[in-house]
Amino acid sequence: MDDLDRRLINRLQLGLPLVRNPWQALASELDSSSTELLHRLHELLCEGILTRFGPMFDIERLGGAFTLAALAVPEERFEEVAEQLHALPEVAHNYRREHAWNMWFVLACATEQDVTDTLQYIETLTGLPLLNLPKEETYHVGLYFPV
């Protein structure tokens, strides 16, 4: 990772410019070209330096529903259960935590009833009890990790 990669990552954490050609505007700011910046972004994603690049939607404002949930997965079944969750379109992402509830995931659905039905399906599919942690309050925390 060189200086331009670092500057690109730092700048992208602040969001894309809200203009007709955002990559052109970024290129001007970073003294590069839009083609080069897009190529570098692609490489950073392919190399796993960045794991995701995309918008964050407020699903509730769009009329949908979501929840955070967790499973206590025996270590010998961890990969199997992770793949089961990964196959479900309602699961936005899942990840390991160092805790008795070691697999956490975000579930996004069209309705609250769909959330309930999908959680029940996951319990049946995995044979594991599920911890449902619906949002009680929204907090907006601006994170910025300079590289």
Q: Which residues participate in catalysis according to the annotation?
A: 93
128, 79 contact by CB (below 8 A): no
Residue 132, H or E segment: strand 130-133
> Maximum CA pair distance of the chain?
54
59, burial (CB in 10 Å: exposed 0-12, middle 13-18, buried 19+): middle
d(CA 91, CA 109): 9
Query: Quick one: tokens of 22?
Result: 């955002």
- Burial of residue 97 (CB within 10 Å: 0-12, 13-18, 19+) is exposed
